[in-house]
Amino acid sequence: MFTKKAQAMSDRVEHLVGLLNNACRLYYNGTSESDMSDKEYDRYLTELEILEHESGIRLPDSPTGKVGYKEDGAKVKHYSPMLSLKSSKDVADLQYFLGPRVGALSWKLDGCSIILYYMNGKLIRALSRGDGQLGKDITENVKQIQGVPHRIKHKDLLIIRGEGCCSLKEFEQIKRTTQGERYSNPRNLASGLINSTKTVSLLLKHLIFIAHSAVLLESPEWSKQKFKNRTDQLLYLATLGFITVLLII
């Protein structure tokens, strides 16, 4: 028999599940806009996770079981292939590659590759690299990391590539937790969390997305002529609120 406290927790869990699932339905179906802000959604989801852990109650349709891509491993085809970069330690190779062109250098990011899709100013999908041709839908996990705005001031289609990273400082903090003990380095941690099908939202907030290129940028105002090089792309992405790689021209 439930105590009053247990009954209250059960009622709250049921209420939060209904509230969050309704917000998701409105958000993804696009029939009407949810009144719930992203900040409110995160707060309610965190509360639900804590209540489920404390009470042992988890409803079959709980949104905490839907974080990350689908369990069946369904894959999505990339807009353009995610090819591997050629590595070299010889400056002459770089000079030969550039030829008469001016190059831009950046720090190499070591984390988890992420491709973001925006339409009408709204984040509609996030994919992992996968095999370069097909990637997994990791939208719900990616929404929870830093540096990924859910809405931007760009109304046309925008596809961005970047890296989900974990700083050494954040890695050391996470390593001290029970969930973080199994990760050997920041790269494995970032990849493990972003591709996880389990509920890891509290740890995902320690990661950050850093953009390094725009795969497709559609806009009447910003035609391809406006972006003469990678630097122009990144400067524009920065105005939209993205954190970009540091460039040395």
Mutual orientation of helices 168-175 and 186-194 as an angle, nearest 10°? Answer: 70
Q: How far is CA 139 from the centre of its chain?
A: 6
What is the distance between the terminal CA atoms of the chain, rounded to a whole angstrom?
A: 70
Distance between CA atoms of 158 and 180, rounded to whole angstroms?
A: 34
Verify whether residue 108 is a known catalytic residue: yes
List the catalytic residue out of 39, 70, 89, 108.
Answer: 108
Distance between CA atoms of 183 and 98, rounded to whole angstroms?
A: 38
Q: What residues are paired with 71 via a beta bridge?
A: none
Token pair in block for residue 150: 């859910």
Distance between CA atoms of 131 and 62, rounded to whole angstroms?
A: 31
Mutual orientation of helices 4-29 and 38-55 as an angle, nearest 10°? Answer: 140
Which residues are marked as active site?
Answer: 108
